[in-house]
Structure 1
Amino acid sequence: MQGLITEQTGCALTVTLNRPQQRNALNSATLDELERKLGEAEDNPQLRALVIRGAGGNFCAGGDLADMLEAQQAYSDGNQRAFTELSRRYGGLLQALKRSRLVIICAVEGVVMGGGVGLVCASDFTIAAPGSRFSLPETRLGLIPAQIAPFLNSRIGPGQTRRLALAGEILDAAEAQHIGLVHQLAVSAEELGRGVDGILDNIRRSAPGALATTKTLVRRSGEISDEELGALLDEAAEDFSAAVLSEEAKEGAMAFIEKRKPYWAQE
């Protein structure tokens, strides 16, 4: 099965995450392919927008556990930077989406967890179906949202970021729109595509060069520089590695496998 399905329609390339049995969790192969498709789209002068969707009724459940297991094996084999490299790899994709000349649109439904929230925060526009559920479960597993937090903070501000990243709340689509994580709600999952078409209709009316320059202007005026963001993500990747190797993460993993609460969540 293809990890990604792509379709070009007019000025937009739609990329569908196609791992429905894993709720479209992002593995290394999918990250590589998504970044490659982004690069190809940027080189195509006909394209002005990239739409990211998920197959099977869910958007994205975050990172793939299989990659964590591979990193664990690599660490055991002597690569002490295995978890740092795994974490930073994902942040590189988010940074590429953020600085792309293309208008990045996320059309989400169902589960939007961890790295899926990161994709939303790196996008320029997000439309959500009514049943969408947004969450950052990392701290409940003894981990940290290392590469996601800077993008989340830029999107919704430090107060709401603390709410999601520290309190671990699960937000429905309406609340996600209320705090600015989502821009628009579709009336139903079936109407999600039509909502995207409406956004693309507006993009088609805008000049490609003006779109790209405006996106850069907005990004530079409201955020830290690419260099500063890169340094922050490098540091966050080191923090992620330390978290993975901590006793809390070991307990979080065992609790997940044994389908019980970790010791810090006991009554």
Structure 2
Amino acid sequence: MNLPECKNLLLNLDSGVLHVTFNRPESRNAMTPELLAEIASVFESIRESAVRAVVLRGAGGHFCAGADLKGMMAGGMKPPAPGEADPIVAMNRSFGVMLRQVSAAPQVVIAVCEGAVLGGGFGLACVSDIAFAHAEAKFGMPETTRGLPPAQIAPFVVERIGLTQARRLCLTGAQFRGAEALRLGLVHESFSDEEELQAKLKDALSQVVNCAPQANALTKQILLNVGKLDMDAVLDDAARKFASCVRGPEAPEGIAAFMQKRAPKWAQN
């Protein structure tokens, strides 16, 4: 596996866990087209790799403050000429493409939310499998207070916390701290310092590696199909995935390990 070279990301692969750090601390890790492209490239490079989990975090104490509005405005606001593609549409849509890519990654994606978790950062938290929030992290979607809709983020927010809460947050631009993010179900656990975070991260990763990689990947696909396909189609697809696992290498090993009271091979790396 060859990880791409990145200017805006720090990458560290350790024992099957890829730590991806957004590295634009001078802007609280605000999203640029270049940063979006690098995230997409990293997730594409690991799609069929042995990476078991991805930990997303921001440098400088902030997760991500959303889109780099200064850079967007500097690009000019003139409408495209007749017959030309609209660059603003393309730029905005690319963010949704990246969110779907992160959401559907076969790996377990863990978000460490601290400092600013706003706009696009909020969206990334919503597509993670596991999210930890610092008690003092600031969450919110301030787009409407800037005269913009949270266009690519809103659908993922609805999926994460439900339509009722998404309406309130999107239409008020309200900001809140980690405790409220935990109450809403946006994140799964909170932490107050680095020591507590590392303990919780270690525990979560140890649980992840106890799960078979292919079984986890297929389970994510089943979960993400719910509400998007007819329920019978979801269950038919799930039955086929179950059969493929029964006949694959993981189930025989996992069942044998259970019977023999030992750890399965994938948990021994």
Short-chain TM bin: 0.7 to 0.9
Q: Deviations over 1:56-93 (max 9, x none)?
A: 01100001124412542564777561221111010000
Percentage identity across paired residues of the two chains: 38
- The secondary structure found in structure 2 opposite 1:185 is strand
Q: 1:42 deviation in Å?
A: 1.6
SS across alignment from 1:72:
coil
Task: Report the 3-state secondary structure (helix = DSSP H, G, I; strand = E; otherwise coil) of the residue aligned with 2:18.
Answer: strand
Larger radius of gyration: 2
- Does residue 1:39 correspond to 2:18, yes or no? no
What's 1:89 paired with?
94
Tell whether 2:173 aligns with 1:168.
yes
Counterpart residue identity of residue 197, structure 1 = K
- Matched pairs, number: 224
2:67 maps to 63
Aligned to 1:159: 164
Question: Is the 1:63–1:114 contact (alpha carbons within 8 Å) kept by the matching residues of 2?
Answer: yes
Q: Distance in 2 between matches of 1:66 and 1:77?
A: 23
Shift of 1:10: 1.2
Partner of 1:240: none
Alignment of 1:10-159 (within 5 A): 10-44=15-49, 46-72=50-76, 75=79, 81-159=86-164
Distance 1:124-1:99 versus aligned 2 partners, 3 A rule: same
Residue by residue, what CA displacement relative to the aligned partner does 1:150-198 show, whole Å, maximum 9, x if unpaired? 0000000011101210122111101100011111112324432332222
Consecutive unaligned residues of structure 2, counting only runs of 5 or more, are 1-5, 231-269
Matched, 1:198 2:203: yes
Tell me how far apart the structure 2 counterparts of residues 104 and 222 of structure 1 sit (CA, whole Å).
21
**TM superposition score normalised by structure 1:** 0.79
Counterpart of 2:192 (choices 187, 190, 193) is: 187
- C-alpha deviation, 1:220, in angstroms: 0.7
Inter-partner Cα distance in structure 2 for 1:60 and 1:38: 18
User: Unaligned regions of 5+ residues in structure 1, if any?
Assistant: 226-267
Counterpart Cα distance in 2 of 1:184 and 1:223: 28
Report matched runs for 1:200-215 at 5 Å.
200-215=205-220
Q: What residue is the counterpart of 2:237 in the other structure?
A: none
- RMSD value over aligned CA atoms? 1.9
Pick the aligned partner of 1:216 from 203, 221, 238.
221
TM-score, structure 2 length as denominator?
Answer: 0.78
Deviation at 1:11? 2.0
Q: What is the letter of the counterpart of residue 156 of structure 1?
A: I
SS in structure 2 of the partner of residue 59 of structure 1 = coil
Q: 1:102 Cα deviation (Å)?
A: 1.2
Q: Distance in 2 between matches of 1:213 and 1:83?
A: 35
Structure having the larger proportion of residues in helix? 1
Task: Tell me the CA shift for residue 5 of structure 1.
Answer: 0.1
| TM-aligned CA deviation for residue 206 of structure 1 | 0.5
Distance 2:228 2:156 in 1: 10
Q: Which has the higher contact order (CA 8 A, sep 6+)?
A: 1
